[in-house]
Structures are given as C-alpha cells and as structure tokens.
Amino acid sequence: MFYKIEVKDHIRVPPSLFGLQKDLAIIKQIKKKFEGFVSKELGIVIDVAGVKEIGEGIIVSGDGASFYNTTFEILTYKPEMHEVVVGKVKDIADFGVFMALGPIEGMIHVSQTIDDFVSFSKEKVLTGKETKRTLRVGDMCKAKIIAVSFKDQLNPKLGLTMRQKGLGKLEWIEEDLGTKKEKEEPAAKESKKKK
C-alpha cells in the first residue's frame, strides 16, 4: 500500500549548500537521507512529497553545518499481508517466479503460480500440465502478498501467491471471466423462455 507520511527530523545542511535557497538545500538533504530508505515502520521511501515547516537553524560547534528542525511529507510503499498487487514477471527459475512490484520485488514459489502441475523449461517458461497455461518473463500478473519480512532491512522479502480466484496472469483472469459469462448467458436465456 502507498502512503504519504508526515515526518519531523533534524536536517543537516553542509556549508557547501549554503549558496542555495534554504528550502532547496533542505529538500536536497532530505532526499539524500530518505530516498530508498527501508524500515519496517515506514516501508520503502520512494520520494519526498514536500516540506511543511522549517524551524530556525542552529550551528553545532565543530561541525560547521546548519541543522533545521523540519516537518516534511514522504511517499512510501509498505507491503501489507493479503494485499492484492499487480506486477510484471521479472525472472523465472525452476523454484519460482520473481515479480517486480514497483519499488520492491516479490517471489512466487512454483507451487503458488498455477493451480496445476507445473513444468519449467530452459526458455524460462512455466507451463501447466492440464491447463496448458504458460507464464513467461514480461507477463503482467495479479498476486496476493502472503509473507512479508524486513529481517534484512536493505533487502526486504515478499512472498506471493497466484493460486486463488481472481489472481494470476491477467489474460487468465480475463479468460476465466469470459468463461463464467458464457455459462451464465445460456442459463439466463433458459429462465426467460420459461416465463
């Protein structure tokens, strides 16, 4: 889920940036400090949305830089359990599929890709034995987050599944919806005839 979060922090502006306008120098330092920052509480910081308030600057003895008590907003992505996400298949291995979800990547174990026995080919294609459905690098898919780990804060891990109704390769979802409509249409016609 994407969030806009208000943060208060002391922002250090080094003397090399004193020539810039104060607000531009502070934004530059906030971006340097927070973009790409990852934590369990905030998620993954994507960008600085804006500065709301800049307090009086103070200079710390022996440093030479100014420190400003600043209130600002950041845009973050924090993956949530059971969240349905859309992403692009980035890579396929014999054990699973790696899917790009914007600022983070998730992994779908091979057993969670297709509700079928799946085979893996050297061309990096997963194929269902009975359904004949294929999954390739570059395919757009809908998946559900089933595991989130921030144990390694520099590389958070997401576990995904596509083995539920309404999930999977986007073409599969459209096919399933088309099949459902075809089954419902004859039934609707029959009920109209009886009236």
CATH (domain of 123): 2.40.50.140
Helix (H, G, I), strand (E, B) or coil at 26: helix
Q: What pLDDT score does 167 carry?
A: 94
Q: What pLDDT score does 102 carry?
A: 84
Do residues 83 and 106 make contact, with C-beta atoms less than 8 angstroms apart? no
Do residues 76 and 43 make contact, with C-beta atoms less than 8 angstroms apart? yes
Rounded CA gap, 167 and 192, in Å? Answer: 33
Q: What pLDDT score does 182 carry?
A: 59
Query: At which of 27, 48, 77 does a domain end?
Result: 77
Query: At which of 77, 93, 126 does a domain end?
Result: 77
63 is a domain residue: yes
Q: What pLDDT score does 194 carry?
A: 57
Which residues of the chain, if any, have pLDDT below 70? 179-195
177 is a domain residue: no
- Is 89 found in the same domain as 164? yes
Rounded CA gap, 131 and 119, in Å? Answer: 12
Q: What pLDDT score does 33 carry?
A: 92
Q: Which residues contact 38 (CB under 8 A, 6 or more apart)?
A: 44, 45, 150, 153, 154, 156
Rounded to whole angstroms, what are the CA distances from 194 to 60, 187, 188, 189? 87, 11, 10, 9
pLDDT 10s digits, 46-73: 999 999 999 998 988 888 899 999 999 9
Query: At which of 77, 98, 124 does a domain end?
Result: 77
88 is a domain residue: yes
Q: What pLDDT score does 151 carry?
A: 85
- Is 165 found in the same domain as 91? yes
Kindly state the tokens that stand for 25: 């120098």
Question: How many domains does the chain divide into?
Answer: 2
187's enclosing H/E stretch is helix 170-194
Do residues 159 and 82 make contact, with C-beta atoms less than 8 angstroms apart? no
Q: What pLDDT score does 188 carry?
A: 55
